[in-house]
C-alpha cells in the first residue's frame, strides 16, 4: 500500500509532439521513479490533465494543434500544487514570463535532458536555478530572435525584414539556413 501511495504522488504528464523525444524522456523519467503518462497534442494533454491532474508535468510550448500553455493553465486550475516545467525550442523572455505567470516553475530550452527536467521539477522554488552548463551561442540567440519576430509577423518575410531593419534578401538567406548550435 505505501508503495502505491508513493507512486501516485509521483504522477508525471509529459506533453510534446516530438515523438522520439517524448519516448526518450518518458523512459528516463520512469527510471527516476515517476509514474509517466504522455500526450502528443494540446487536446490529448488537456483530456489527460482533466481526467487525472498530475503532480508533475513537462509541457512543450509549441505543439501541432496549439499552445502548451493551455495545458499548463488547466493543470494549475485542477491541481494548484502541481509542479510544471515548460520546454521549448523557441525561447524568449515574453513566453517565459507568461509560462511562469500561468504557474510553471521553470522554463527550459530544448534540447533539455532528463537530469535538467528532474532537477527543475524537484528544485525548491526558493532556490535560484544554476546557470546552464552549455548556454546558447550568440549566433543561436540571434537566430531564435529572428525566428520569433518572423512568427509574430505571421511568417511574412517583408514585414519581418522591415521590423528587424534588415534587407529582405538577407533575411531570406538567414531563414533558409539551419539553426546554429
Domain range holding 68? 2-122
Q: What is the pTM of this model?
A: 0.69
- Do 25 and 97 lie in one domain? The reply is yes
Cβ neighbours of residue 57 closer than 8 Å, sequence gap 6 or more: 12, 13, 14, 15, 49, 71, 72, 75, 82, 83, 84, 85
C-alpha cell at 43: 487536446
Digit-coded pLDDT (tens) for 47-77:
999 999 999 999 998 888 888 889 999 999 9
Confirm if 67 and 40 have CB atoms less than 8 A apart: no
pLDDT for the residue numbered 132: 66
When divided into structural domains, the chain yields a total of 2
- Do 147 and 100 lie in one domain? The reply is no
Length of the chain (residues): 181
| In a domain? residue 128 | no
Confirm if 150 and 143 have CB atoms less than 8 A apart: no
| In a domain? residue 133 | no
The CATH number of residue 171's host domain is 1.10.10.60
- Do 16 and 63 lie in one domain? The reply is yes
Amino acid at each position: 500500500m505505501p508503495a502505491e501511495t508513493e507512486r501516485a504522488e509521483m504522477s508525471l504528464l509529459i506533453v510534446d509532439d516530438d515523438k522520439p523525444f517524448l519516448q526518450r524522456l518518458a523512459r528516463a523519467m520512469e527510471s527516476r521513479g515517476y509514474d509517466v503518462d504522455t500526450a502528443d497534442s494540446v487536446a490529448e494533454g488537456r483530456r489527460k490533465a482533466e481526467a487525472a491532474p498530475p503532480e508533475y508535468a513537462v509541457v512543450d510550448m509549441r505543439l501541432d494543434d496549439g499552445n502548451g500553455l493551455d495545458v499548463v493553465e488547466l493543470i494549475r486550475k485542477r491541481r494548484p500544487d502541481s509542479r510544471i516545467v515548460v520546454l521549448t525550442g523557441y525561447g524568449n523572455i515574453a513566453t517565459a514570463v507568461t509560462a511562469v505567470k500561468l504557474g510553471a516553475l521553470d522554463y527550459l530550452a530544448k534540447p533539455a535532458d532528463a537530469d535538467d527536467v528532474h532537477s527543475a521539477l524537484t528544485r525548491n522554488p526558493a532556490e535560484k536555478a544554476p546557470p546552464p552548463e552549455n548556454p546558447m551561442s550568440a549566433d543561436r540567440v540571434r537566430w531564435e530572435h529572428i525566428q520569433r519576430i518572423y512568427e509574430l509577423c505571421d511568417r511574412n518575410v517583408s514585414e519581418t525584414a522591415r521590423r528587424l531593419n534588415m534587407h529582405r534578401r538577407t533575411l531570406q538567406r538567414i531563414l533558409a539556413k539551419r539553426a546554429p548550435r
